[in-house]
Structure 1
Amino acid sequence: MRLRMDREDLSGGISTVTRALATRTTLPILEGILLETTPAGLRLVCNDTVLSIEDTVPVEVMEEGSVVVPGRMFSEIVRRLPEGKVELELDGDRVIVRSKGSKITVVALDAAEYPRLPAVEDASPIKIPQKLLKEKINQVIFATADDETRPILTGVLMEMGRDMTLVALDGYRLAMNHLPLSMDGNRRSVVPGKSLSEMARTLSDGDELVEISFQGNHIRLDMGPIQMISRLLEGEFIQYRQILPTDFSTLVKLSREAFFDAIQRASLVVREGRNNLIRLHFEGEELAITANSEMGDALEKVAIECEGKPLDIAFNAKYLSDVLKSLDDEFIQLNFSTSVSPLVVTPVEGEEYLYLVLPVRLHG
Structure 2
Amino acid sequence: MKFFCNKSELVEKINIVQKAITNKINSSVLGSIFMHIDDNNLTMIGVDTDLSIETKVNAKVVEQGKLFLDSKLFGEIIKRLPSDKIEIKNNELNKKNIIISSGNTEFNLLNLDSKEYPQIPQVDFQNKILLKQSIFKNMIKSTTFSASFDESKGIITGVLINIKNNILTFVALDGFRLALKSEIIDNNEDINIIIPARTLNELNKILKETDDLIEIYLTNNFIMINVNNDKIVLKLLQGDFIKYDSIIPREYKLSVIVSKYELINGLERSTLLTKDKNNNLVKMEIREDKLVLKSHSSFGQLKEEIVIKKDGIDLDIAFNSRYLVDAVKSIEEDEIEIKFNNNITPCIIKGNKSDSSKYMVLPVRFIV
Normalized against structure 1, the TM-score is what? 0.96
Using the TM superposition, give the Cα deviation of residue 123 of structure 1 relative to its aligned residue in structure 2, in angstroms. Answer: 2.4
Using the TM superposition, give the Cα deviation of residue 273 of structure 1 relative to its aligned residue in structure 2, in angstroms. Answer: 6.9
Contact map agreement 1:343 1:356 (CA 8 A) in 2: yes
Using the TM superposition, give the Cα deviation of residue 180 of structure 1 relative to its aligned residue in structure 2, in angstroms. Answer: 1.4
Using the TM superposition, give the Cα deviation of residue 24 of structure 1 relative to its aligned residue in structure 2, in angstroms. Answer: 4.8
| 1:54 aligns to 2:58 (yes or no) | no
| 1:315 aligns to 2:312 (yes or no) | no
- Partner in structure 2 of residue 268 of structure 1: 272
Unaligned runs of 5+ in 2: none
- Partner in structure 1 of residue 359 of structure 2: 355
Which of 125, 128, 131 matches 1:128?
131
Using the TM superposition, give the Cα deviation of residue 26 of structure 1 relative to its aligned residue in structure 2, in angstroms. Answer: 6.5
Q: Please give the per-residue CA displacement for 1:49-82, whole angstroms capped at 9, x wherever unaligned.
A: 2101121111100011222111111111111111
Alpha-carbon distance change, 72 to 288 in structure 1, aligned in 2, over 3 angstroms = same
Contact map agreement 1:4 1:59 (CA 8 A) in 2: yes
- Partner in structure 1 of residue 343 of structure 2: 339
| 1:302 aligns to 2:306 (yes or no) | yes
Contact map agreement 1:45 1:54 (CA 8 A) in 2: yes
Contact map agreement 2:328 2:349 (CA 8 A) in 1: no
Q: Please give the per-residue CA displacement for 1:105-160, whole angstroms capped at 9, x wherever unaligned.
A: 11112444422111112424222211221111101111110222212111111111
Contact map agreement 1:139 1:175 (CA 8 A) in 2: yes
Q: Please give the per-residue CA displacement for 1:250-301, whole angstroms capped at 9, x wherever unaligned.
A: 0111111111001111221234376211110112211111111111100111
- Partner in structure 1 of residue 145 of structure 2: 142
Which of 206, 209, 214 matches 1:202?
206
RMSD (Å), alpha carbons: 1.6
Alpha-carbon distance change, 185 to 103 in structure 1, aligned in 2, over 3 angstroms = closer
Contact map agreement 1:35 1:44 (CA 8 A) in 2: yes
- Partner in structure 2 of residue 105 of structure 1: 108
Give 3-state SS (helix, strand or coil) of 1:105's partner.
Answer: strand
Identify which range, 24-33 or 342-351, moves more after superposition.
24-33
Identify which range, 133-142 or 271-280, moves more after superposition.
271-280
User: Letter of the aligned partner of 1:288 in structure 2?
Assistant: V
Q: Distance in 2 between matches of 1:311 and 1:317?
A: 17
Alpha-carbon distance change, 38 to 176 in structure 1, aligned in 2, over 3 angstroms = farther
- Partner in structure 2 of residue 119 of structure 1: 122
Using the TM superposition, give the Cα deviation of residue 161 of structure 1 relative to its aligned residue in structure 2, in angstroms. Answer: 1.4
Identify which range, 39-48 or 169-178, moves more after superposition.
39-48
User: Letter of the aligned partner of 1:117 in structure 2?
Assistant: I
- Partner in structure 2 of residue 9 of structure 1: 9
Q: Distance in 2 between matches of 1:152 and 1:90?
A: 47
Q: Distance in 1 between matches of 2:37 and 2:338?
A: 55
Q: Distance in 2 between matches of 1:288 and 1:210?
A: 45
Q: Please give the per-residue CA displacement for 1:299-324, whole angstroms capped at 9, x wherever unaligned.
A: 11111101011111100111111112
Identify which range, 154-163 or 24-33, moves more after superposition.
24-33
Q: Distance in 2 between matches of 1:98 and 1:275?
A: 52
User: Letter of the aligned partner of 1:172 in structure 2?
Assistant: F
User: Letter of the aligned partner of 2:339 in structure 1?
Assistant: N
Using the TM superposition, give the Cα deviation of residue 39 of structure 1 relative to its aligned residue in structure 2, in angstroms. Answer: 4.0
Give 3-state SS (helix, strand or coil) of 2:223's partner.
Answer: strand
User: Letter of the aligned partner of 2:269 in structure 1?
Assistant: R
- Partner in structure 1 of residue 227 of structure 2: 223
| 1:250 aligns to 2:254 (yes or no) | yes
Q: Distance in 1 between matches of 2:268 and 2:116?
A: 52
Alpha-carbon distance change, 168 to 16 in structure 1, aligned in 2, over 3 angstroms = same
Q: Distance in 1 between matches of 2:40 and 2:303?
A: 61
- Partner in structure 2 of residue 158 of structure 1: 161
Alpha-carbon distance change, 37 to 114 in structure 1, aligned in 2, over 3 angstroms = same
| 1:330 aligns to 2:343 (yes or no) | no
Percent of counterpart pairs with the same letter? 29
Alpha-carbon distance change, 338 to 122 in structure 1, aligned in 2, over 3 angstroms = farther
Contact map agreement 1:273 1:293 (CA 8 A) in 2: no
Contact map agreement 1:161 1:182 (CA 8 A) in 2: no
Alpha-carbon distance change, 252 to 363 in structure 1, aligned in 2, over 3 angstroms = same
Identify which range, 190-199 or 116-125, moves more after superposition.
116-125
Alpha-carbon distance change, 223 to 269 in structure 1, aligned in 2, over 3 angstroms = same
Q: Distance in 2 between matches of 1:191 and 1:214?
A: 12
Contact map agreement 1:161 1:181 (CA 8 A) in 2: no
User: Letter of the aligned partner of 2:335 in structure 1?
Assistant: F
- Partner in structure 1 of residue 97 of structure 2: 94
Q: Distance in 2 between matches of 1:192 and 1:272?
A: 28
Using the TM superposition, give the Cα deviation of residue 185 of structure 1 relative to its aligned residue in structure 2, in angstroms. Answer: 4.8
Using the TM superposition, give the Cα deviation of residue 341 of structure 1 relative to its aligned residue in structure 2, in angstroms. Answer: 0.9
User: Letter of the aligned partner of 1:276 in structure 2?
Assistant: N
- Partner in structure 2 of residue 277 of structure 1: 281
